[in-house]
Amino acid sequence: MIYVDADACPVKAEVERVGTRHKVKMFIVSNGGIRPSPNPYIETVVVPDGPDVADMWIADRAGKGDVVITGDIPLAAKCIASGAQVIKHNGEALTEKNIGTVLATRDLMADMRAADPFRQGSGKSFGKADRSRFLDALERALRAALR
């Protein structure tokens, strides 16, 4: 199965296209504002408002053989711990080998932003190269999961 942390996800259409080609069940999880897809492989899940409710829904269900699409690093860590493969929107795979460093960097950047309120955002926009890397990473992850 594919779980998509859909709030602010720029690759929902790509997930649908690749998941449908592989005939894989997909869960598009958000706390609202997402138009349901008529695709029979997609289930749109709307969770109640609240901090990290969508993340908890995904973390409670994702496991070995599943692929999770998220930019949320703490959610990624939980999903990796349960055996799921995790891909960020830019195609970067998060794994047992790199999640510790990614979590530490996230925490460091949060501390730096808290210390300097003028330091905001990463400054890097999402582009065609990111979309292409994502499609390649998702294809590889699904093939590995289906083995």
- Say whether 91 sits in a helix, a strand or coil: coil
**Angstrom distance (rounded) from CA 147 to CA 145:** 5
Distance CA 86, CA 73 (A): 10
DSSP 3-state assignment of 96?
coil
* Alpha-carbon span 55 to 60, nearest angstrom: 9
- Beta-sheet pairing, 26-30 with 42-46: parallel
Nearest to 126 by CA among 75, 76, 84, 92: 92
Chain segment 91-140, per-residue pLDDT in tens: 999 988 887 777 766 666 665 666 666 666 555 677 889 999 999 999 99
pLDDT (tens digit, 9 = 90+) per residue, 40-80?
A: 999 999 999 888 899 999 999 999 999 999 988 899 999 99
Is 55:5 a contact under the CB 8 Å cutoff?
yes
- The pTM of this model reads 0.85
Amino acid identity of 49? Answer: D
